Structure 1
Amino acid sequence: MLNQIGDSIHYLPNQNDKERPTLGLVCGDQYSLVIDSGNSVQHARDFLHEIEKLKVPPVKYLAITHAHWDHVLGMNEFEAAAIIVNARTNEIIQDWRSLSFDDHSLQEYADAKKMTSQCVETIISEIPERDTFQLTSPDIIFEGSLRLDLGNKVCVLETIRSTHTDDSTIVYIPDEKVLFLGDSAYGTTENSLYHFKQSLLLPMIEDIRKYDATHFLLGHESICDAAEMDLYWKELISASKAVTSASLEGAIAAFEADHDRKPNENELFFLKAFVNDQILKSQSE
C-alpha cells in the first residue's frame, strides 16, 4: 500500500527484512516520475500494481538514485518510462549489464564478494527467467543536475557528494518541499567494516541542506521531518568531531569531554563508523 505526502507524492515504504528500499512516485498534471525501481522484478511489479490503483498520469520517467542492486534490479519493468541516471550511475549500470544471472554465475559473484548473499537470494527468488535476464540501458544521462516538468510539477535531480556512494542523486520537489535522498545520507561497508567517509560528511550535509525541505525520504527509513534530519546531522557531526584516530576508546573519551555525558546509542554507532573510516585510511596508506 502506498503512503501519500501532500497532493501529488506517494511512496512505497521500505521493507528491511527483504532489503527493499523506499520507492517514490511524483505526479504532475501530465506525467508521473518514479524514484528508484526496486530490488527485483517482483518488487517493481508490486509497486506498479499499487500505482495502477491510483489512476495517475502515465509514468514518463524513472530516476535512479544510485546503482546499488536494491535500487536498480527492477528497472526493466518500467518499459514505458525513460530511465534517468547521472553519468557515474550509468557507468556502474553498464557493468551490471555485463553480468549473467544463472546459478553458476551467481555463485561465482558471491564467492568473489561481488554480490551479497541477500542480493543472490533475492535474484533467485524474485527475478524469473534469470538465464536471459539483462538490465536495460538508461535513456537519459545527466551531469550535475536536471530539471523535469511533469505538468505544473517541477522536480530537480542533483548529483551530490555522499558518504554512501560516489554516484548519489537526490530528487527535490520544490512546491511540496519534499526531498528524496535515496541512500546518500548513509555510510557504506568496505573490507567488512561499516564506515562513514569522514572527509565527505560536511560537504554532503552542505549539499543537502541547501534545499528547503520539510519532509525527507531515505532509502531504508520511515519518512523524516526537518527536526529529525537536523538531529541526525547533529549526532553525525558531533561523533565525527570526536574521532581523530583509529581508537574507539579515544573517540568516546573525547566525546564525553566535549559533551559532559556518555554518547547515546546512535552516537556510539556513529563513533564506531568514523573510527572504522580511520582504520580503512590507515590500511590504504
Structure 2
Amino acid sequence: MLNKLSKSIYYLSNQNDKERPTLGLVCGDKYSLVIDGGNSVQHANDFLREIESLNVPPIKYLVITHAHWDHFLGMNEYNATIIVNSLTNEIINKWRGYSYDDRSLEEYKNSKKMDSLCVDIIKNEIPDRESFQLNASDIIFEESLKLDLGNKVCILERIRSTHTDDSTVAYIPDEKTIFLGDSVYCTTTNSLFHFKQSKLLPMIEDIQKYDAVHFLLGHESICDLDEMNSYWNELVSASKAADSTSLESALESFEADHKRKPNEDELFFLKAFVNDQILKSQL
C-alpha cells in the first residue's frame, strides 16, 4: 500500500525481508517522477499497480539514487526517462552487459559479481530472463539537475556519502522533503561492514544544507528532523570514539565521554568505524 506524505508525494515502504528499498513518487501538475526503480520487475510492477489507483499525472522521469541492484533492476517497467549521475551510469553499464540465464547467474554468484540474494530474486521476480537487458540511461548528469514537473520543482544532486561514491539525493523544496536513498548507511568492503569515516562530516554537510523536515531513507522509509539529528549525533560521537583499530579502546573512549555504555545502535556504529580504521590500516 502506498503511503501519502502530501497531495504530491507518495512512497512505497521498504520490505527488508525481500530486500526491497523505499520507492518514491513525486507529482507535479504535468508529470510525475519516480525515485528508484525497485529490485525486480515484480517490485516495480507492484509499485505501478499502486500508482494506477491514484489520479496523478503520467510518469515522465525515473531517477536512480545509486547503482546497487536493489534500486535499479526494475527500472525498465516505468517507460520513463531514466536519470542517473555519471558514476551510477558507469556501474549500471556493467549490468547492461550481463546475461540473466541460470548458468550466467551462477557464474556471477561464484565470481562475487552478484550475491546469492540478488540471484534468487532475479530468478523469482524477473520473467523472460533469457532476453532481459537493462534499458540505457536517457539523462546523465554530473553534479546536479533541476526538474520541473509542473509547479513542482525537484532538485537531484550527487552528494558525498558513507555508503557509495555515486549517491544521488532528490529534494523537493516546497515540501521540505528529501529522498536520501541509501546514502547515509554504511557499506561492506572485504567482508567488513564499515562507515567511510572520511565521508561522514562532508555527507552531513551536504544533506543539512537542504531545508528538509521529511527524510525518506532506503531501508527505514521515513524519518523526521529530530530523528535525523539524533542519527547524526550518534554517528558523530561514535566516529570520534573510534580513532584506532581497537574496539575496546573505542568503547572506553565512548563511555568516558558519555558516562554510560553505548546503546545497540551506537555499538553498531562504533564497530563500523573501527572496521573502517582496520581497512585503512591494511592499505
Specify the alignment match of 1:11 in structure 2: 11
Aligned residues: percent identity? 74
Specify the alignment match of 1:57 in structure 2: 57
Q: Supply the RMSD in Å over aligned alpha carbons.
A: 0.6
Give structure 1 regions of 4+ aligned residues with deviation exceeding 6 angstroms: none
Q: Does the Cα contact within 8 Å between 1:236 and 1:270 map onto a contact in 2?
A: yes
Specify the alignment match of 2:2 in structure 1: 2
Query: Do structure 1's residue 136 and structure 2's residue 135 form an aligned pair?
Result: yes
1:222: Cα distance to partner? Answer: 2.9
Q: Does the Cα contact within 8 Å between 1:93 and 1:137 map onto a contact in 2?
A: no
Q: Secondary structure at the match of 2:114?
A: coil
In structure 2, what residue type is equivalent to 1:196?
Answer: F
1:190: Cα distance to partner? Answer: 1.0
Specify the alignment match of 2:35 in structure 1: 35
Distance 1:52 1:110 in 2: 36
Query: Do structure 1's residue 213 and structure 2's residue 179 form an aligned pair?
Result: no
Cα deviation, 1:84-142, whole Å, max 9, x if unaligned, reads 00000010111110111111111111111111111000000000011111101110001
1:61: Cα distance to partner? Answer: 0.3
Q: Secondary structure at the match of 2:179?
A: strand
Q: Does the Cα contact within 8 Å between 1:23 and 1:37 map onto a contact in 2?
A: yes
Distance 2:167 2:221 in 1: 19
Farther off after superposition, 237-246 or 257-266: 257-266
Alignment TM-score, normalising by the size of structure 1? 0.98
Specify the alignment match of 1:72 in structure 2: 72
Q: Secondary structure at the match of 1:54?
A: coil
Distance 2:91 2:244 in 1: 32
Distance 2:78 2:41 in 1: 10
In structure 2, what residue type is equivalent to 1:203?
Answer: P
Distance 1:185 1:210 in 2: 15
Alignment TM-score, normalising by the size of structure 2? 0.99
Distance 1:115 1:233 in 2: 31
In structure 2, what residue type is equivalent to 1:34?
Answer: V
Distance 1:115 1:224 in 2: 30
Specify the alignment match of 1:127 in structure 2: 126
1:78: Cα distance to partner? Answer: 1.2
1:230: Cα distance to partner? Answer: 0.2
Distance 1:232 1:244 in 2: 20
In structure 2, what residue type is equivalent to 1:92?
Answer: I
1:283: Cα distance to partner? Answer: 1.7
Distance 2:277 2:74 in 1: 35
Q: How does 1:117-266 map to 2 (within 5 A)?
A: 117-266=116-265
Could you tell me which runs of 5 or more consecutive residues in structure 1 were left unpaired when the two chains were aligned: none
Q: Secondary structure at the match of 1:189?
A: strand
Specify the alignment match of 2:86 in structure 1: 87
Could you tell me which runs of 5 or more consecutive residues in structure 2 were left unpaired when the two chains were aligned: none
Q: Does the Cα contact within 8 Å between 1:187 and 1:194 map onto a contact in 2?
A: yes
In structure 2, what residue type is equivalent to 1:277?
Answer: D
Aligned residues: 283
Cα deviation, 1:41-66, whole Å, max 9, x if unaligned, reads 00000001101100210000001100
Distance 2:26 2:196 in 1: 31
Distance 2:250 2:125 in 1: 43
In structure 2, what residue type is equivalent to 1:243?
Answer: A
Q: Secondary structure at the match of 1:83?
A: strand
In structure 2, what residue type is equivalent to 1:77?
Answer: E
Distance 2:129 2:55 in 1: 31
Query: Do structure 1's residue 271 and structure 2's residue 270 form an aligned pair?
Result: yes
Distance 2:7 2:158 in 1: 26
